[in-house]
Structures are given as C-alpha cells and as structure tokens.
A and B are shown apart, each in its own frame.
Chain A
C-alpha cells in the first residue's frame, strides 16, 4: 500500500525528474548539423526525403552549429577537416551528440593507410552512435538514429559529459594529430 503522505524529494531526485522530462523533448526533436565530408553523405537525401522521411521522427536539418543537437560526421576526416570539426563541435550547445557514419569513422575504412586522414574518430571527439558499413544502407542510417533516441532515453548518450571529464585526453589526441588546436575568435581579438 503506497503512502499518500507528501514526502519532499531531494534535490538530486528533482533534477533527475526534470532531466527525464527534458530527455523526452530532446529525443523527439533531434536537429542535425550535417558535416558532409565523405561519400556517406549521399545516404542522407533518401533518408530526409519521401523515401524514408526522417521528419516523422522529429529530425530535421539545421543551418548552424548553435542550433543543432546532433553532429553527423559522414565519412573520412582529413586533418584539415578534423580541425574544423572540433571547432564546430565545441560551438554546439549542450546536450549534444555525434553520429559517425561508415567504416572510415570507426577504423579508417579503405583510407586506413593514408597519411592525410585520421582513423578513429572517437579518439578526438566523443561519438555516441556509429553506423557501420561502407557505405551504410539508408535503413542502417535510420536505425542509427533510432538507436541514438534509445540511448538518450536510457541516459547512455553521455558523450558530451565525457568530453568535459576527459578533456585532457581528447586534447592530447587532438594535439598529437593537429599540432595545435586553437579557436580563432576574429571578432573579439
């Protein structure tokens, strides 16, 4: 028999409840920023248009990093684009998630022995969901998005927290690959 007596919740419990409510809104309205560097980007048009209709999941493309929730990294990243990717990721407002497309973001794929690309994306930025395949099917892409929603629901999409906690490790990896990571703020310098 449940007691009907009012017992005040602790601050952690209240925060947790609010966070769960926020998670409901966040997973039903994922706005994407498409960082189309590789060939996997060609899988996005059928996912967005009438064939698979991503909008019924509440997803949609956004124009700038500030507005977006999900960063889609579609394919291989050369060292030059990695620098821009890190700037872009750090501009997004939290909570933020990354979806990596194709084998290239997992282990380098067919470019694994190139001097110009990085092999493992999650050494540099935290990736929440990988969609494997070279290239992944559009079904696999949609499945990856549904997986991301499930992860958010089960509170496992914690890449952005991990980026705060282990920032030294990520920064060391970024520096090892790029030499120097510095965001140029040309408006206020």
Chain B
C-alpha cells in the first residue's frame, strides 16, 4: 500500500519536474528566438509569469463541458507524464514505461481539449480542433513506422530499455544508426509540438489561435500548463527513442535542451503551411523515407 502511494508521489514529482523544466527551457528559448530576430527578448522566467498571471485573472465559462474538458486534458496529461522515465533507471512506475502508453494517453488529453474547445461553440475553435486532429493523423503515420522499426530492432517497446540498448551498443544513437528515420522523427516531432511549418492548427493571424480562441483567464492558464507538460512528454520520447536515453539527470536535461532549442531555431525561420500542404507533406516525403528506412533496416539489415 505504502509502496503504491510512494510511486504515485514520485510520479507527480516527475510531472512537476517536467513542468518546471519545460517552462524554464521555453523561457530561455524565447530569448534564443529573440536573438535570431535581433531582439533582446523577455526574462527567462517569463513563461512562469504568464501562467501565474492567467491563473490570477477572472474568467468566464461557456458551460460545464468547457470547464470539464480543460480539467480532463490537464489531468490526463499529468497522468501521462507520471509514467515518463527521466533517466534509464529512474522512473515512477517500474516496467510501465511502454511507448504505447504515451501514444494512447496523449491522445486522450488531446480529445479532452478538443471536447472543451468544441463546447465553447466558437466556429474558429471547431476549425482549430479539426486541423489539430488532421495534423495528428498526418505526422503519426511516418513517426509510428520509424518507431516500430526501432521496436523491431531492439525487441522491446519499453522506453528505458530502448535507451539502455543504445547505451550498451556503445552509444550508437538511433538518430545516427537510422539516419533517414532520424530525419523523419525530427519532422514528426515538429508536427507534434506545433512548431512553425506545421503550426496550422494554432495560426493566430488566420483562425485566431484555433482551439484556444474562447479561453481566457484560469482555463487558458490550465491549458498552458497542459501544453508545457505535453511538450515535456514529446521531447522526452524523442530523447529516449533516438538519443540513447540518459545515464543521469544532467545528461537528460542537456539532451532535452539541445533538441528543443534546435527545433525552435528551425521553427523561427519558417512560414506556415496550409492544412492540405501539411497532410500532403507528411504523406509524401517522410512516409517514403520512413518506409525506405524500415526496409533497409529490417530486410537488408543495414544498421550503422
């Protein structure tokens, strides 16, 4: 009994750590993007100020579905983050760090947000939700093919064991061992995070920030917290699957920071695709590359 309680507490600690880590790194990244644009940039803790300001505001509601969806999204995402291994040996629930747990639970969080946004009754929110789900449909196919290739090669779908596999093999990261698949994964990760070329479902100038159009005050604050933890989960997935996990927590933070910063720098120089361009893009080159990589790695056995 006390074991389970301790595990749950550790899990909440992991989720909180992920929130603090991602929020700080997002603040630093706003400075990095500002330097790319020849600006000075905000304080590094600006994201914390934004979130606490939103939580301190009064807000309106658009019915109980609107409120409940936000709470459901935040709760499910915190629940997902609880399973995330931080290093290859440290995780809250030992043996439950399966890749598919994250894939399924993240989708539930997204559905909570979709339900809540549709509950607001704003047509722009419905368009945004539709675009978000379409984008999800687009990037998941090539990403899943690459990840299934990795699972086939390692023989396990546990994140920490995939990380350990790469460390035992002499730090041959899958980003290097499967170079074509690595490129596909980077593109899919940009789609997951909603970074610039695939920012279609947010599109502030076009559909007024999409699903978030009717949120203000406390609900928006909770959505921001949810967004930060989602980014933590997705970038951590990439670190564990493609960058050889992490032996210790410092290495994890360094890898995490490098991945997120590089994605942000790529994002800061791009424009935005239209939604049909996003789908066509993901179903054309990344899909071809992912299938080629799977063929090369599994049937020909050419893994560097």
A22 and B56 in contact, given A29-B49, A55-B30, A187-B121 (Cβ under 8 angstroms): yes
- Counting residue pairs across A and B whose Cβ atoms lie within 8 Å, the total is 89
**A136 in the interface (beta carbon within 8 A):** no
Interface of chain A residues 70 through 104 with chain B (CB within 8 A): 92-95
Can you name the residue of chain A whose Cβ is closest to the Cβ of B50? A29
Residues of A within 8 A of B214 (CB): 64, 66
Q: A95, B57: Cβ atoms under 8 Å?
A: yes
Residue interface bits B16-49, CB-to-A below 8 A is 1, else 0: 0000000000000010001001111111001001
Can you name the residue of chain B whose Cβ is closest to the Cβ of A19? B56
A67 and B37 in contact, given A55-B42, A93-B217 (Cβ under 8 angstroms): no
**B220 in the interface (beta carbon within 8 A):** yes
- A65 CA / B208 CA spacing, docked (Å): 10
**B215 in the interface (beta carbon within 8 A):** yes
Residues of A within 8 A of B50 (CB): 29, 31, 58
Can you name the residue of chain B whose Cβ is closest to the Cβ of A68? B216
Residue interface bits A42-72, CB-to-B below 8 A is 1, else 0: 0000000110010111100111111111000
Residues of A within 8 A of B40 (CB): 53, 55-56
Can you name the residue of chain B whose Cβ is closest to the Cβ of A188? B121
By the criterion of a CB under 8 Å from any partner CB, how many residues of chain A are at the interface?
29
- A136 CA / B216 CA spacing, docked (Å): 31
Interface of chain A residues 1 through 31 with chain B (CB within 8 A): 21-22, 25-26, 28-29, 31
The listed residue (A58, A67, A93) touching B42 by CB distance below 8 A is A58
Can you name the residue of chain A whose Cβ is closest to the Cβ of B55? A25
> How near does chain B come to A81, taking the closest CB pair, in angstroms?
18
Which of A57, A67, A68 is the most central at the interface, judged by chain B CB atoms within 10 Å of its CB? Answer: A67
Q: A92, B46: Cβ atoms under 8 Å?
A: no
Q: B213, A49: Cβ atoms under 8 Å?
A: no
The listed residue (A25, A50, A67) touching B216 by CB distance below 8 A is A67
- A123 CA / B168 CA spacing, docked (Å): 73
Which of B57, B60, B216 is the most central at the interface, judged by chain A CB atoms within 10 Å of its CB? Answer: B216
- A62 CA / B60 CA spacing, docked (Å): 18
Residues of B within 8 A of A29 (CB): 46, 49-50, 53
- A38 CA / B42 CA spacing, docked (Å): 29
Can you name the residue of chain B whose Cβ is closest to the Cβ of A56? B40
> How near does chain A come to B33, taking the closest CB pair, in angstroms?
10
- A29 CA / B30 CA spacing, docked (Å): 14
> How near does chain A come to B142, taking the closest CB pair, in angstroms?
30
**B189 in the interface (beta carbon within 8 A):** no
Give the top 7 A-B pairs by smallest Cβ distance, nearest first: A66-B216, A22-B56, A25-B53, A93-B216, A63-B209, A63-B204, A50-B38
Taking Cβ atoms with an 8 Å cutoff, the residues of B that contact A are 30, 34, 37-43, 46, 49-50, 52-53, 56-60, 121-122, 204-205, 208-209, 212-217, 220
Taking Cβ atoms with an 8 Å cutoff, the residues of A that contact B are 21-22, 25-26, 28-29, 31, 49-50, 53, 55-58, 61-69, 92-95, 187-188
21 residue pairs of the A-B complex, CB under 8 angstroms, read A26-B56, A28-B53, A29-B46, A55-B30, A56-B41, A56-B42, A58-B49, A58-B50, A64-B213, A65-B216, A66-B213, A66-B220, A67-B209, A68-B216, A69-B53, A69-B57, A93-B57, A93-B58, A93-B59, A95-B58, A188-B121
